[in-house]
Amino acid sequence: MAEQESGQALDAAFFIRWLTACAAAVEREASRLTDLDAAIGDADHGSNLQRGFRAVAEVLAKDAPATPGAVLTLAGRQLISTVGGASGPLYGTLLRRTGKALGDAAEVDRAALADALGQGVAAVAQLGGAAKGDKTMLDALEPAVDALATSYEGAARAAEEGAVATTPLLARKGRASYLGERSIDHQDPGATSAALLVTTLAEIAGQAPAAGSGQ
Amino acid sequence: MAEQESGQALDAAFFIRWLTACAAAVEREASRLTDLDAAIGDADHGSNLQRGFRAVAEVLAKDAPATPGAVLTLAGRQLISTVGGASGPLYGTLLRRTGKALGDAAEVDRAALADALGQGVAAVAQLGGAAKGDKTMLDALEPAVDALATSYEGAARAAEEGAVATTPLLARKGRASYLGERSIDHQDPGATSAALLVTTLAEIAGQAPAAGSGQ
Amino acid sequence: MKMLINVPETVVADALRGMAAAHPDLSVDVENRVVVRRDAPVAGKVGIVSGGGSGHEPLHGGFVGPGMLSAACPGEVFTSPVPDQMVRAAAAVDSGSGVLFVVKNYTGDVLNFDMAAELAEDEGIQVAKVLVHDDVAVTDSLFTAGRRGTGGTLFVEKIAGAAADEGMPLERVETIARQVSEASRSFGVALTAVSTPAKGSPTFDLPEGELELGIGIHGEPGRERRAMMTSREIADFAVAAILEDLQPRGPVLALVNGMGATPLLELYGFNAEVQRVLGERGVTVARTLVGNYVTSLDMAGCSVTLCEVDDDLLRLWDAPVSTPALRWGR
Amino acid sequence: MKMLINVPETVVADALRGMAAAHPDLSVDVENRVVVRRDAPVAGKVGIVSGGGSGHEPLHGGFVGPGMLSAACPGEVFTSPVPDQMVRAAAAVDSGSGVLFVVKNYTGDVLNFDMAAELAEDEGIQVAKVLVHDDVAVTDSLFTAGRRGTGGTLFVEKIAGAAADEGMPLERVETIARQVSEASRSFGVALTAVSTPAKGSPTFDLPEGELELGIGIHGEPGRERRAMMTSREIADFAVAAILEDLQPRGPVLALVNGMGATPLLELYGFNAEVQRVLGERGVTVARTLVGNYVTSLDMAGCSVTLCEVDDDLLRLWDAPVSTPALRWGR
Ligand SMILES: Nc1ncnc2c1ncn2[C@@H]1O[C@H](COP(=O)(O)OP(=O)(O)O)[C@@H](O)[C@H]1O
Ligand SMILES: Nc1ncnc2c1ncn2[C@@H]1O[C@H](COP(=O)(O)OP(=O)(O)O)[C@@H](O)[C@H]1O
Ligand SMILES: [Mg+2]
Ligand SMILES: [Mg+2]
Ligand SMILES: [Mg+2]
Ligand SMILES: [Mg+2]
């Protein structure tokens, strides 16, 4: 797998920076996400994530856990408790399971993160019963996890491509599936937000103040 | 009063022709009347009169009374029983009282009609409590009755002018009065329909097959 | 404007057929357009009859039943019914104790009910009338057709129905109904214009960023157009308009009413603001009713009605009622 | 799209404050977003809890009260509530006899209620769940999230509430609720798209001359767009879609439901057409409910729900219920 260096050491502060940046990114993109959801869903994906990530940023600002695992677990619980809808439990589970997989290490590297995120994504697939190609967030998350083994930028690119690639798909899960054929030709809002989170990860990793080979 | 000849003898058939022509005229103008009512009322004047005059035409076709008085009384009762709203009792009363004033004469002349119609209009004023200048059907009816003493065409002209003259008025009766100042600059629907009925009277009188000096 | 109808001409008859199918407790005469509680006339009790144009549902047909109306006469959309309907209704519910007509103050309703009262009395039915004219948006009422009857109608019909149910004589029922009518005040706001089936399009143009203050329930424009306001601002404005006219000393009944197309979610939120401002103004609210009760077809908007009550009126308000749209107690 | 609100962010909290003011029989926890009947927990009786996104009022909060729901959890507009609300509601209504979750089949509702059930069981509360998935417009349900829960929810909540009220044990209440759910079928039609407070404009474009067939209650487009149809044609289409899926042998309960902005006058007229076609198809209608019960904010349109019932279910349907939106008997 890790044919490259696994890069900088990621500590709790890194993950707090990432999730805080996610909150800002969601704030910025909220109406685009809601509009995508309006086309094939119920026009709330942007405001759902806005509510959730505001709460995450708030709780992390107040009470900053000491390990990457604890940061992600807390953030996941917070999403579950504040978002609702489909994306709340799904993103909540993603972060919680990733956090749990990271255990109580004070620092983790990219390889460990890729591995843990893989477990988080698997938990999402199990919880929601969706597979790649069903036109859901998994279409961005799965390729991203695979690429993360190699680089942050690669993961971001893969997630973006995965999101864009949902456009021609017929939805088989979530609300968009009710539309049948009419779900075709619209980009999935959840895949789009997933790409946003992964892109933000790459950005934060790129500007990380800690030493490391970057990527 | 009657400085001119009072003209042709009007029999029951004349009044049936008139009311039947009114039904056709209302049918033609219904959406204009409703639009006028939409602006300062509740958008039903056209359909109210349509319903009413259809019923009048129907009952007169089935059961044609023998005297002008009986024709008008029956038509008035029919309007009261089918129209509702403000215009139902008002126009119904107009025709009924006019009919009653004509008594059981087999034929009447213009002078007698003008006199009877004057009583009908007075009954409308009493029932509705409105006066000339309040922006109601009376603004067309009162000048029409006065002019009818002289000629049918004059009555039609006076009714038309009266209707047009309601435009700058502030409504003091009926629904339009709720609008206060905002009722200004709209022509009153009831005055408009009243002018339509009087104009139709002049038309029918003009083409009357019976002998007479006409006008 | 799209509507869930067949043709405009049959809208009222179609609705009456649908009511008949849904409410076996009502006897619906579709041809003659009279809705009567099935057990009428009720021996020894005054009959309560109301009616008015259709398009305000559940008013009035939805308020027919024990403890409220004995019968309702639906007219064409936004058009007062004709005297024949009212006479028929009076005859159907008169047990010999007389009948009260509850009349909303519109020229058409007043004239037709007046004619009906004369005809009914000719048939030996004792008739009393109460006029509802609660809409404070109609100012200068000396120079107009007078204040419109709107939300206060619900209070009058409910309490008059309860009084009749208790076996009070006609004169007393009339007095109580008049007391409720005189103690009621309303103010309404429109966010959109209404579309009638006959016209098929909005009766006036109300742009996106504006609202109409002081509207009635017939799609007429209001007294004033303003830039769109928040729920809080609308509540402040509506309650202020009412309290300018009547400063209740006792507790009030509050009706927070939707005009037909305003979601219940919004209405409840609006109610929160109405209660806030009433609290600030020192008005005690004894009972609150929130919902689409006195409507104007597909109009978005709301109205507030307050009715000052004493213990007697409150008891009559709380008395059991069993109609399609209002039902509690027993 | 104009709305009677303050800001989109407080719409749900505002509505809950307004509910609290209007309904003293309910205990409304605005901060934690739980609506509970005031006398909960009721000793010896199973608690019935439901919930879902807001914007469907009166569903679910308007169905809380004796004979129906013990508690409701309102989520954000069109967004399933979070597990914390459901756990709190379960704890508030559990008398030791256990709690039934009534869950509409949407991915969000299912996932959140599943999580809540686990957490509640951790707290020692016995939990059963019933899924409502009545919308026949969702075809190929093996390749979708499955049929949506819509109007059938009202039948499940009412009858499960009556079963609990009779003191039946959790297992029996669950069985009956499932029986009602499996016997229910719905089909809905939109004349206009919905506008959510967050989006502020219609979720999709539906031109004047067209309608959407097979819509849900979240503003999603339907399965098919067609040229505008008459009430008669819509009733034919909707009932045919339902009967294609379930040909009832026994009598049915019928819900003729408005989506929020369709006037009651039109709904009653539509009911007349629904009853006509059911009669033509040989279906006996035992009870009919007409009104805006399971709504989609300001959407114009309607849905039909049928539920096949036996004598037992009919008795439970007829049993007394006392909630803000549904109330009869005692
Ligand atoms: N079963 C599922 N598995 C994975 N992702 C899903 C599933 N169902 C829905 N999603 C994702 O959730 C997104 C919608 O989220 P959101 O709009 O917040 O919730 P809701 O659909 O409840 O309104 C979809 O775009 C899709 O990516
Ligand atoms: N008190 C009144 N006296 C005379 N005419 C009146 C009075 N009130 C209303 N009208 C007339 O009736 C017309 C409206 O009739 P219509 O629209 O059919 O009834 P409604 O106002 O009940 O909807 C008005 O334009 C006006 O001319
Ligand atoms: Mg969504
Ligand atoms: Mg009119
Ligand atoms: Mg009218
Ligand atoms: Mg949602």
Q: What angle do CA B177, C221, C210 make, to 5 degrees?
A: 145
Q: Give me the residues of D, 110-169, that contact C with CB < 8 A.
A: none
- pLDDT over 70 at C99, yes or no: yes
Q: A84 CA to middle of ligand 6, Å?
A: 8
**Helices (H), ranges, A41-109:** 45-62, 68-82, 87-102
Q: Burial level of B13, CB count in 10 A (0-12/13-18/19+)?
A: middle
What are the sequence ranges of the domains in chain B? 10-205
Which one of the ligands is nearest to B87 CA? 2
Q: Is the sign of the CA dihedral B151, B156, B157, B162 positive or negative?
A: positive
Q: Burial level of D227, CB count in 10 A (0-12/13-18/19+)?
A: exposed
State the smallest CA–CA distance between residue D78 and chain A in angstroms: 7
Contacts of D275 in chain C (CB under 8 A): 17-18, 21
User: Mean pLDDT of all residues in chain C?
Assistant: 96
State the smallest CA–CA distance between residue B90 and chain C in angstroms: 8
Cβ–ligand 1 distance for A89 under 6 Å, the answer no
pLDDT grade for A143, boundaries at 50, 70 and 90? very high
Contacts of D261 in chain C (CB under 8 A): 260-261, 263, 298, 300
- pLDDT over 50 at B210, yes or no: no
State the smallest CA–CA distance between residue A55 and chain D in angstroms: 14
Most distant CA pair in chain C, distance = 56
Residues in CB range of B58: below 8 A, 6 or more apart: none
Catalytic residue among D23, D56, D60, D133: D56
Whether D56 is catalytic is yes
Q: What percent of chain A has pLDDT over 90?
A: 87
- Closest Cα to atom 13, ligand 2: which residue? B190
Bigger pLDDT: D221 or C40? C40
Whether D22 and C261 lie within 8 Å, measured CB to CB = no
State the smallest CA–CA distance between residue A71 and chain D in angstroms: 20
ipTM for this model: 0.93
Set out the domains of chain D in order of their start, with CATH numbers: 8-183 (3.40.50.10440), 184-317 (3.30.1180.20)
Whether A43 and D196 lie within 8 Å, measured CB to CB = yes
- pLDDT over 90 at C140, yes or no: no
Q: Is B94 helix (H, G, I), strand (E, B) or coil?
A: helix
Atom of ligand 2 minimally distant from the CA of C111: 1
User: Mean pLDDT of all residues in chain D?
Assistant: 96
Instruction: Tell me which residues have their CB closer than 6 angstroms to ligand 2.
Output: B 37, 41-42, 44-45, 48, 85-87, 90, 128-130, 136-138, 173-175, 188-191; C 79-80, 107-108
Query: Which of B35, B127, B178 minimises the CB distance to C111?
Result: B127
Cβ–ligand 1 distance for A173 under 6 Å, the answer yes
**What is the structure's pLDDT at D138?**
86
Contacts of B180 in chain C (CB under 8 A): 139-140, 144, 223
Q: What is the mean pLDDT of residues A54-61?
A: 98
Whether D133 is catalytic is no
Catalytic residue among D23, D60, D133, D218: D218
pLDDT grade for A7, boundaries at 50, 70 and 90? confident
Which one of the ligands is nearest to B193 CA? 2
**What pTM was estimated for this model as a whole?**
0.94
Q: What is the mean pLDDT of residues D219-248?
A: 94
Q: Report whether C145 contacts B177 (CB < 8 A).
A: yes
Whether C115 and B80 lie within 8 Å, measured CB to CB = yes
Q: Report whether B120 contacts B111 (CB < 8 A).
A: no
Residue C325 neighbours by CB distance under 10 Å? 21
**What is the structure's pLDDT at D141?**
62
Whether B48 and C79 lie within 8 Å, measured CB to CB = yes
In whole angstroms, what is the distance from residue D65 CA to residue D42 CA?
11
In whole angstroms, what is the distance from residue D297 CA to residue D283 CA?
31
Q: Report whether D116 contacts D101 (CB < 8 A).
A: yes
Nearest CA in chain A to D199: A43
- pLDDT over 50 at B213, yes or no: no
**What is the structure's pLDDT at A158?**
98
Q: Burial level of C207, CB count in 10 A (0-12/13-18/19+)?
A: exposed
Mutation pick from C64, C205, C268 vs chain D, by most beta carbons of D within 10 Å, is C268
| pLDDT tens digits, C54-65 | 999 999 999 999
Q: What is the mean pLDDT of residues C216-243?
A: 94
Contacts of D115 in chain A (CB under 8 A): 80, 89
CATH no. of A10-205? 1.25.40.340
Instruction: Please identify every residue whose CB atom is under 5 Å from ligand 3, which is an ion.
Output: A 37, 41-42, 44-45
**Candidates B173, B187, B193: which one to mutate for ligand 2, based on the most atoms within 8 Å of Cβ?**
B173
Radius of gyration of chain A (CA): 16
| pLDDT tens digits, D135-165 | 999 877 667 788 999 999 999 999 999 999 9
In sequence order, the β-bridge partners of residue D52 are D74
